[in-house]
Amino acid sequence: MEEVLVANIQKYAIHDGKGIRTTVFFKGCPLACRWCHNPETQGYGRELIFYEERCTGCGECVEECGNGAVTAADGKVYTDRELCRGCGECVDGCMRNARQLCGRGYSVGELAEELLKDRAFYETSGGGVTLSGGEPLVQDMDYLERLMGTLCGRGISVNVDTCGAVAFERLEWVMPYTDRFLFDLKLMDEDNHREYTGRDNGLILENLKLLSGKGARIWIRIPVIGGVNDEAEELERMAGFLSENVHAEQINLIPYHNTGSGKYVHLGREYKGGMFYAPPKERMQELQRLMESKNIAPVFIGG
């Protein structure tokens, strides 16, 4: 594959591994978590982002769209998401920057060149590059191998932030180039996992066991969602699974936040996490102490 789609490249990231890092958010994810704060990375193709508050209703985008997806009525512009091809023609015609396209194609060389620009920050801080998403391991594996090989060849640390819902062969493929896996653990109950993420967790849990068995360095990341998995019983189940099956370097309890909820309307979607809430600081500390009592690995809030 000559290029893959990237939703965003975040520089100076400090929560995706050690040191100062540059995080690449690839397009495409096998899960659809209701609380996802990067919904623009869930879809595999280019997507239109529309900021209605910026739109003046001038109609230029209607003229530019060659697929009939954009129409105007009563001074407002409407986009049929099913007809939209993500071609970007309407974006080019918008003078108010109300229409943007999420998903830029990068070749291996282009992406590596962009990531190597921050090499000085990686070297001085002990940081590197984190591949995230979406899910980085749904990308073309030859592409990822060439990208990661290029970075490793230049002495750059590479982390892989994964939900684990991929064939284990893909995790194994990138192991030689991966400094650490940042592995998400969301829910232990299979039915609840399917309800809140769109898929059961059987493959995810099995992959985590296999990855640990192969000697991979793993940080466990648990998003703590108020009203979903913030009960002590849920953390007890996670702790039991980890203590029996996984050697983790550390565990991060990440409090839920709704800062990404506003993105959904711009993508023409409904945010289905309105009932979720951020657990209070005291609750997060209680859960931290619970996990620490299991002596699995150092436990941190946030990260």
DSSP code string of 198-222: SS-SHHHHHHHHHHHHTT--EEEEE
Domains by residue range for the chain, with CATH? 3-44+104-301 (3.20.20.70), 47-102 (3.30.70.20)
CA distance 160 to 132: 6
CA distance 224 to 221: 9
- Give the pLDDT score at 13: 92
DSSP structural state of residue 97: S
- Give the pLDDT score at 122: 96
Cα dihedral across residues 286, 292, 296, 301: positive or negative = positive
Q: Which runs of consecutive H residues, i.e. helices, occur in 22-140?
A: 60-64, 89-92, 108-116, 119-125
- The tens place of each residue's pLDDT in the chain, 303 residues long, gives 789 999 999 999 988 899 999 999 999 999 999 999 999 999 999 999 999 999 999 989 999 998 899 999 988 899 999 999 999 999 988 989 999 999 999 999 999 999 999 999 999 999 999 999 999 999 999 999 999 999 999 999 999 999 999 999 999 999 999 999 999 999 999 999 999 999 999 999 999 999 999 999 999 999 999 999 999 999 999 999 999 999 999 999 999 999 889 999 999 999 998 899 999 999 999 999 999 999 999 999 998
